[in-house]
Amino acid sequence: MNSALTDDKPLLSRGMMAVITAQFFSAFGDNALLFATLAVIKNQLYPDWSQPVLQMVFVATYIILAPFVGQVADSFAKGRVMMFANALKLLGALVICFGFNPFIGYSLVGVGAAAYSPAKYGILGEITSGEKLVKANGLMEASTIAAILLGSVAGGVLADWSLLAALIACVLAYGLAVAANLLIPKLSVARAGQSWHPFSMSRSFFSACKVLWRNGETRFSLLGTSLFWGAGVTLRFLLVLWVPVALGITDNKTPTLLNAMVAIGIVIGAAAAAKLVTLKTVGRCMPAGVLIGVAVIFFAIQHSLMNAYALLVIIGVLGGFFVVPLNALLQERGKATVGAGNAIAVQNLGENSAMLMMLGLYSLAIKLGAPAVATGVGFGALFALAIAVLWGWQLAQQRRAG
């Protein structure tokens, strides 16, 4: 039975609330587990440069599985795909909890996350549509960021108290996400009957890549979101090394609280984007992208904890306002061309390739002895320049089209 909503039905339906709840607990587990696993790595005396490698292992699963996960999302009911993916995350958390290699456990979580992402964003286009899709994305981002806020803090605070307690909290969060997935109404399969031969799936995926990268609007969205999330994950790891150097604080809790400030800001920015930006006015988000880089530069040279908190909230507000409209644009255009699941899988390939590249460069810089403050300043400047170039390119495209 198809439970898809039409435009005359409420945004906060049972299906939407189940999706948002599942996303909250899944993202809570992801963020708590990251900081808990970083604490495990520190406890086991791994070198500093191995911390971003943990995330690189996670990101690599997205890239390797990119040709396949979009078709999985479009070939089965997306709520059930989300449930299976969260079960994989649960297994990965259990691997770490029982003392096995943290890199192996975290890679299993990465496999689950890679399968989960196309389904969680693709389902939004099936239970709502049109301008409500921007608002649905705002709800999704708000839920995600609330989970980042609480999950990051829980992971860091519990890790300072008890590593086992932190890991158990992650296992429970993933279990609740699986339970919430059961409440999502079963939707019709988006694209049934596709070939499951690996070569056919890869050909179909790279065909979708070609379609989306050749279209001006979707290419713009892909580039913008890839730059944003690549920068965001690098900033998260930069904080871990920046806090002891700039603030003289060596606990696990402070970096998580600083990440939480970004999360608070993104909730505000996402809400503002839902009210002020539509699919026709997506270009309004670009100045916020440039200002993210500027704010990172000012943040990197701070030595006051309160100033750091304030600047990270500002960075979050700018980030939420920047990324939410770009996500909605890609989902709407992607749904009409290659399918929502495939569109998000292509987006994941771009975003995670950017993450892998930025984390690799960051890890190399730290291994070569680059100071954390100087690394932050250079990172902010490069990000502002990249978004400014993208903005200029978009304006040039619009002038040519007009």
The answer to whether 57 and 105 have CB atoms below 8 angstroms apart is no
> What average pLDDT is seen over the chain?
81
pTM: 0.71
Q: What is the mean pLDDT of residues 150-174?
A: 86
352-388, pLDDT tens digit by residue?
888 888 888 888 887 888 888 888 888 889 889 988 8
Separation in Å, CA 121 to CA 65, 177, 224, 314, 395: 17, 16, 17, 26, 28
Return the residue matching tokens 């965001």: 232
Helix (H/G/I), strand (E/B), else coil: 123: coil
- The tokens for 133 are 């899709």
Is 175 exposed, middle or buried, given 0-12, 13-18 or 19+ CB atoms closer than 10 A?
A: middle
Round to whole Å and give the CA distance between 143 and 271.
Answer: 11
Residue carrying structure tokens 């279209």: 215
Distance CA 215, CA 296 (A): 31
Instruction: Give the pLDDT score at 8.
Output: 53
295-306 per-position pLDDT tens digit: 999 998 888 889
| C-beta of residue 370 within 8 angstroms of C-beta of residue 245 | no
Q: Is the pLDDT of residue 158 over 80?
A: yes
Of 138 and 80, more confident: 80
Residue 187 pLDDT level (bands cut at 50, 70, 90):
low
CA distance 375 to 28: 29
Angle at 266 between CA 81 and CA 112, to 5 degrees: 20
Per-residue pLDDT reduced to its tens digit, 17-29: 888 888 899 999 9
In the predicted model, is pLDDT for residue 3 greater than 60? no
pLDDT band at 11 (very low <50, low <70, confident <90, very high): low
Residue 395: per-residue pLDDT: 79
CB atoms within 10 A of CB 95: 18
- Give 216: exposed, middle or buried? Use CB within 10 Å, 0-12, 13-18, 19+: middle
Least confident of 43-52, 54-63, 243-252: 43-52
Architecture of domain 14-186+211-401: Up-down Bundle (1.20)
Amino acid, res. 158: L
> Percent of the chain, pLDDT > 90?
12
Q: What confidence category does residue 192 fall into, taking pLDDT thresholds of 50, 70 and 90? A: low
For the chain, what are the domain ranges?
Answer: 14-186+211-401
